[in-house]
Structure 1
Amino acid sequence: MTQLVGPSSTAVTIALLAGPDATASTLYGMYDLLGSAGRDWELLTNGRMGEPRLKPVIVSRDGCGFRAANGAWIEPDATLDECLAPTVVCIPDLFVAPEARLEGYAEEIAWLRTCRRDGALLAAACTGALLLAEAGLLDGEDATTHWAYCDALARRFPRVRVHAHRSLVVAGEGQRLIMAGGGTSWVDLALFLVARLVGVDEAMHLARIHLIDWHQDGQQPYAALTRSRQVADACIARCQVWVAQHYDTPSPVAGMVRLSGLSERSFKRRFKAATGMTPMEYVHTLRLEEAKQILESGDAPIDEVAEQVGYSDPSFFRRLFGRRVGLTPSQYRRRFRAMRLRLQ
């Protein structure tokens, strides 16, 4: 049986931070992918293990094993104090609600600030960017996170320039802040790190080994455009329920105004305060989300789809869809219709 060789003394150390809200899938997925750089291509093509070029190390505040947020067991390799000078720090995603505040991270935040001060490259996958923001390390910088958390990140940290549509953002002095968006875009992050630390050829090797397809269109096509229904303002909540069933009517905003019993000006002000969107913006999100479902599940012509969701001008629908979704309706159908058919 072939023995797995350990990383050499020249391998670059990458600390994977296992915080209280860590999930095991991203943490160990990054551990495996980064650890295979320099090692696995040689095994597959020449029959012998290559020399690992990167040394991933799982670190936590006390080094003790713990049950992850998703129930899996995480066994760290070292404490924060034992990993004082990593070349790279990666923060995997955190299993928290979009509006939740990160509590109990004082030790991790202090450690991240020290690593940043000492010149480490800081990378975050998905919601891991929330911890960088909490540490004040994203102030005045470009950033991204999972599409469902971008609004909350922008509201809580107004000094951060959040790019919701991008699946990868490189920022900061010396480009030492790297963030990936949602879901499996941590794979893009890992490949980017391999390209930067080892070389583009090795990153391409890993992409070929693991059948990785870069998220070149960003995360915008995957995002759900609608927001959670708010219930604090009962009048507006009632209008949201109504418009969810009547968004395809000719004048849905006027219908909501009538239902509310308010003046048009007062209604629009209260709706924006409650939802963060104007009434018409909200209608557009409902219509486009329904259009996405129709495009995924059927073969109706684009003009017919536009009419079904309430747009009498197909060209306006195409422009709006492209601007909000990041793909044309036809491109969206080609990508996601095929995916749905395979799953069915």
Structure 2
Amino acid sequence: MQTVTVIGFDGALGSAITGIIDLFRLAGVTWARINNEEPTPRFTTRLLTMDGQPFRCINGITLLPDGALSDPSCEPAENSLVMVPTIGAQISRVLETSRGLVDWLAQSSQQNDGQVRIASNCTGAFLLAEAGLLDGREATTHWGFSEQFRHRYPKVDLQPEKLVTVNEPIACAGGGMAWWDLGIYLVERYAGAQTARELAKSFVIDAGRTSQAPYSALQARRYHSDSAILRLQEWLDAHFPEPVTLQTLAALSGLTERSLIRRFKAATGDTPTGYLQVLRIESARQYLEQSRLSVDAITQRVGYEDVSSFSRLFRKHTGLAPGAYRSRFGV
């Protein structure tokens, strides 16, 4: 059986630990029991901390580990899987108090045999990035902390719209309960598609999700000190439904168009046109969530004229058509 090592630390999200353990331990078990068949467990799990001492999750529950990462007898085997759960407490504080874990991750096996060997859920990606394991790799994390992540780890190819990223030997899952999706994916990789499908059915998990974009809010994108770009962002906040051209923005900022594009991208991670689209899409999301205005009316209110073009753009940014988005999130 495949061994899965789940790492515990103070301030972790308890459900991301106990949930992923349940998922792996019941692969090949629950479905068999439902169908009155003999269970065939596919994974063994163990919960380890750096020192082997109990740790307190963010929900106040204290968990007892099975051993210590610092104990040579507990070191994960070369072909095992290491899971890093969500940071539930303040991220910077956990990173500061988890230097031993960060160092352990940095020294961990980097073997690449076509399998995922280290995986993180949600903000657990900060620990992998802090250890340098994500430099030059595609990764994801909770959409709400994506800007903080980008500024702290500029060498990482962050894809916050994705629910799961895989760049062997490392995988990352996005926000909150995305450990479901990561777990099902890893079960499929290690135990086969049939076992994964049966597990998803047993847990009533929608295994077809690929994006966390529908759940994200507009990122502030203002963690920078470029005063000219900040003033331009404030102007766009008030005028985004109006016709806006690059020439207009350049004139308002006092920059050439080339300098504007370069500085806007450096400050916000996006082009002026891309940022304008995000503002309009976020306004449309709010209308869809809070009003009964027609999609045609919303299209006009946020600065677009063609409904079909707007709908394609909305789907590109959120992963859902406007009508489907309203059905899921509307009042």
Residue correspondence of structure 1 range 115-264 to structure 2 within 5 A = 115-117=108-110, 121-172=117-168, 176-227=169-220, 243-250=236-243, 263=254
CA contact (8 A) 2:250 2:256 kept: no
CA distance in 1, matches of 2:264, 2:91: 21
CA distance in 2, matches of 1:76, 1:27: 11
Q: Which residue is equivalent to 2:10?
A: 20
CA contact (8 A) 1:40 1:49 kept: no
SS at match of 1:85: coil
Q: Residue 203 of structure 1 aligns to which amino acid in structure 2?
A: A
TM-score of the aligned structures, taking structure 2 as reference length: 0.81
Q: Which residue is equivalent to 1:323?
A: 316
Q: Residue 55 of structure 1 aligns to which amino acid in structure 2?
A: T
CA contact (8 A) 2:125 2:141 kept: yes
Q: Which runs of 5+ in 2 are unaligned?
A: none
Q: Deviations over 1:132-154 (max 9, x none)?
A: 22212222322222223334434
Once the two structures are TM-superposed, the CA of residue 94 in structure 1 deviates from its matched residue by 1.2
Aligned residue pair count: 322
Residue correspondence of structure 1 range 292-303 to structure 2 within 5 A = 292-303=285-296
Q: Which residue is equivalent to 1:64?
A: 53
CA distance in 2, matches of 1:96, 1:180: 18
Pair 1:75 & 2:64 matched: yes
SS at match of 1:116: coil
CA contact (8 A) 1:18 1:60 kept: yes
Once the two structures are TM-superposed, the CA of residue 98 in structure 1 deviates from its matched residue by 7.1
Once the two structures are TM-superposed, the CA of residue 167 in structure 1 deviates from its matched residue by 1.2
Once the two structures are TM-superposed, the CA of residue 168 in structure 1 deviates from its matched residue by 1.4
Q: Which residue is equivalent to 1:291?
A: 284
Q: Deviations over 1:162-200 (max 9, x none)?
A: 22222112212xxx2121111221101111222222222
TM-score of the aligned structures, taking structure 1 as reference length: 0.78
Q: Which residue is equivalent to 2:75?
A: 84
Alpha carbons of structure 1 residues 100 and 275: separation in structure 2 relative to 1, 3 Å:
farther
Once the two structures are TM-superposed, the CA of residue 280 in structure 1 deviates from its matched residue by 4.8
Once the two structures are TM-superposed, the CA of residue 39 in structure 1 deviates from its matched residue by 2.2
Once the two structures are TM-superposed, the CA of residue 265 in structure 1 deviates from its matched residue by 5.2
Pair 1:54 & 2:43 matched: yes
CA distance in 1, matches of 2:210, 2:200: 17
Q: CA RMSD in A?
A: 3.4
CA distance in 2, matches of 1:101, 1:274: 27
SS at match of 1:103: helix
Once the two structures are TM-superposed, the CA of residue 121 in structure 1 deviates from its matched residue by 1.1
Q: Residue 148 of structure 1 aligns to which amino acid in structure 2?
A: G
CA contact (8 A) 2:28 2:199 kept: no
Q: Which runs of 5+ in 1 are unaligned?
A: 1-10
Once the two structures are TM-superposed, the CA of residue 30 in structure 1 deviates from its matched residue by 0.7
CA contact (8 A) 2:147 2:219 kept: no
Alpha carbons of structure 1 residues 129 and 249: separation in structure 2 relative to 1, 3 Å:
same
CA distance in 2, matches of 1:180, 1:164: 10
Once the two structures are TM-superposed, the CA of residue 16 in structure 1 deviates from its matched residue by 0.5
Q: Residue 301 of structure 2 aligns to which amino acid in structure 1?
A: Q
CA distance in 1, matches of 2:298, 2:88: 36
Q: Deviations over 1:187-220 (max 9, x none)?
A: 0111122222222222111111111002534112
